[in-house]
């Protein structure tokens, strides 16, 4: 049975989660192994539809009575990161604190969030953490992710993983759009778009619309800068005409 808190609040009962992680032993030896972590039940059920269905009152799952959950077949670093995030009670802040994640950890964490039905954490990873991990590679001195590597490690990776559902996830379309913009400048000869017309035409249309919006915004910025330049030039001209040198 799950252990109750001193106040007797069932939501604060502790659940033991076992998963494939890493074990540590002296002197600083790290090995793959089964790891357990005690997490408040309410932290799990609040963020995860999977754990909510498993642990809430009336559930027919054995875990609801035993208070022990066995997880398998997840990326070791990703499941460890996500479970530790859940254990804090503020998973969003924990993950933001760790950011920027490595590209591989960000990708695998997205899969964990999807697998265990953690929509708010999945959105956080898609909107913030995955783009940040890529931006780190694009903007810093760390080894760059080439356009070919991006297609393999991001598009092909997610497309293959979710092929039984709908392929490359829709909430990652904006990420792909940003990659198209970046690699058009960094590697203009590499084509990231043509395959989408047959693979995912809806995604191709989405990206085309987003690129059109970016182009329109860029044109507006240029026009605005031109207006400001004209205004500054006019002020400079008027100021010069008022100087004694101009009146001579």
Give the model confidence (pLDDT) of 176-235 as tens digits.
999 999 998 889 999 999 999 988 999 999 999 999 888 787 665 665 556 555 454 554
The alpha carbon of residue 225 and the mean position of all alpha carbons in its chain are separated, in whole angstroms, by: 34
Where are the domains positioned within the chain? 147-216
Q: How far is CA 244 from the centre of its chain?
A: 62
What's the pLDDT at 59? 81
Residue appearing with tokens 């092929």: 163
Rounded CA Rg of the chain: 26
pLDDT at position 239 is: 44
The pLDDT of residue 164: 87
Over range 160-185, report the average pLDDT.
93
% of the chain residues with pLDDT over 70: 81
Mean per-residue pLDDT for 50-69? 91
Where b means 16+ CB within 10 Å and e means fewer, 182-214 reads: bbeeeeeeeebeeebeeebeebbebbeebeeee
Backbone φ, ψ for residue 28 (5° rounding):
55, 45
H and E: helices and strands count for the chain:
14, 3
State how far the Cα of 118 lies from the Cα of 176, in Å rounded to an integer. Answer: 22
Where is average pLDDT lowest: 56-70, 105-119, 224-238? 224-238
CA 26 to chain centre: 34
Residue 208 main-chain phi, psi, to 5 deg: -60, -45
Cis status of the peptide bond prior to 100, with omega within 30 of 0: yes
Query: C-alpha angle with apex 117: 35 to 71, nearest 5 degrees?
Result: 20
Q: Which residues contact 47 (CB under 8 A, 6 or more apart)?
A: 86, 91, 118, 120, 121
The neighbour count for residue 17, using CB atoms within 10 Å, is 21
Confidence tier at 244 by pLDDT (50, 70, 90): low
Element (H, E) at 175: helix 173-186
Task: Report the interhelical angle of 173-186 vs 201-241 (nearest 10°).
Answer: 60
Cα separation of 121 and 81, whole Å? 12
Q: What does the block give as tokens for 161?
A: 């993983």
């Amino acid at each position: 049975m799950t252990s109750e808190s001193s106040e007797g609040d069932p939501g604060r009962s502790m659940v033991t989660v076992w998963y494939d992680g890493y074990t540590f032993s002296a002197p600083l030896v790290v090995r793959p192994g089964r790891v357990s972590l005690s997490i408040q039940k309410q932290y799990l059920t609040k963020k995860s539809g999977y754990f909510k269905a498993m642990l809430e009152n009336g559930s027919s799952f054995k875990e609801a009575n035993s208070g022990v959950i066995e997880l398998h077949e997840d990326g070791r670093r990703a499941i460890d990161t996500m479970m530790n995030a859940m254990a804090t009670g503020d998973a969003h802040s924990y993950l933001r604190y760790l950011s920027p994640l490595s590209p591989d950890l960000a990708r695998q964490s997205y899969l964990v969030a999807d697998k265990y039905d953690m929509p708010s954490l999945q959105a956080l990873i898609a909107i913030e953490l995955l783009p940040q991990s890529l931006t780190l590679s694009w903007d810093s001195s760390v080894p760059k992710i080439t356009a070919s590597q991006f297609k393999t490690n991001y598009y092909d990776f997610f497309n293959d993983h979710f092929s039984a559902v709908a392929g490359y996830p829709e909430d990652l379309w904006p990420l792909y759009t940003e990659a198209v913009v970046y690699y058009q400048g960094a590697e203009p000869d590499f084509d990231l778009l043509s395959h989408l017309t047959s693979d995912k035409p809806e995604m191709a249309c989405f990206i085309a619309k987003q690129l059109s919006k970016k182009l329109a915004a860029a044109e507006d910025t240029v026009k605005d800068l031109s207006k400001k330049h004209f205004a500054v030039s006019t002020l400079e001209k008027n100021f010069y005409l008022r100087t004694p040198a101009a009146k001579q």
